[in-house]
Structure 1
């Protein structure tokens, strides 16, 4: 439980405290924040923190690269679904780093086909609706020593 609370607090660093309009104590707060509007500058913080490409970030948020570029430049609030997707992705990445004990190991794992995911690479799955929860489930099994 303590790790989870620390992870939610770390979201302030990952997305930029100034971009979050509320405190995050649970995944339900993602919806509250998304309804109030998550500033698109959070995407810039997210990309820099995890050293992600524009292409991967756009795919992750179900946006075209030009749309992502315009959003980043405008510093306007994201739509609710993009906000939730960004919050969930940031939380997933922090959880994965926690499970694998390093950013490098987690990102290597993201690019390896996984039997538990039907031999799909986790990074491919997180780009589609519902994929983040499936990858999170596998990370939970790994964390608890269940073969995955």
Structure 2
């Protein structure tokens, strides 16, 4: 699966493999508005679902698709979601399997689906941790 890349003064990086400091720097620079649709595609979510993940109305989500540069908070959320989507597709060895798993309620999450938690950075980290447990064969 192809991942987005960007060029900085220090080389070319994949959005999915950014270090924490690179992620902060890149989010402060702001991503292009078109990235919202790209990330929605990576996660296999609708516009309405993506708007909820970004804590926005659907109308705001659609307006941002034409924005040159997104604000830092939205850019950071998109970068975190991109990293999760890429990691999940790698662990599940298939984007479709991962996106279906995102929608499945898990007992570990009190019968909530991982997708329900992705509207906060804490939720993204929790889901990333669960994917890591799956990668290493720890019962989840």
On the 8 A contact 1:61/1:85 being kept in 2, the answer is: yes
Q: Displaced runs of 4+ in structure 1, greater than 6 A? A: none
Indicate conservation of the 8 Å contact 1:116/1:138, yes or no: no
Of 123, 133, 137, the residue aligned with 1:141 is 133
- CA gap of 1:119–1:85, structure 2 versus 1, over 3 A, is same
Per-residue Cα deviation, 1:76-104 (whole angstroms, up to 9, x for no partner): 31111110000000110111111111111
Residue 42 of structure 2 contacts residue 85 of structure 2 at CA under 8 Å; is this kept in 1? no
What does 1:1-148 align with in structure 2 at a 5 Å threshold? 10-12=3-5, 17=6, 23-24=12-13, 25-73=18-66, 75-148=67-140
Q: Secondary structure at the match of 2:96?
A: helix
Q: Tell me the TM-score normalised to structure 1 length.
A: 0.80
Query: Relative to structure 1, is the Cα distance of residues 60 and 21 closer, same or farther in structure 2, using a 3 angstrom cutoff?
Result: farther
RMSD: 2.1
Contact 1:21 1:38 survives alignment (8 Å): no
Contact 2:44/2:99 (CA < 8 Å) preserved in 1? no
Kindly provide the CA deviation profile for residues 41-78 of structure 1, in whole angstroms up to 9, marking residues without a partner as x.
211332345543111111111111001111112x2311
- Native 8 Å contact 1:21 1:36 kept in 2: no
Task: Compute the TM-score of the two structures, normalised by the length of structure 2.
Answer: 0.84
Which structure: greater strand fraction?
Answer: 2
Summarize the Cα distance change of 1:29–1:58 in structure 2 as closer, same or farther, 3 Å threshold: same
Matched residue of 1:82: which SS? helix
Larger relative helix fraction:
1
Q: Which runs of 5+ in 2 are unaligned?
A: none
User: Which stretches in structure 1 are left out of the alignment for 5+ residues?
Assistant: 1-6
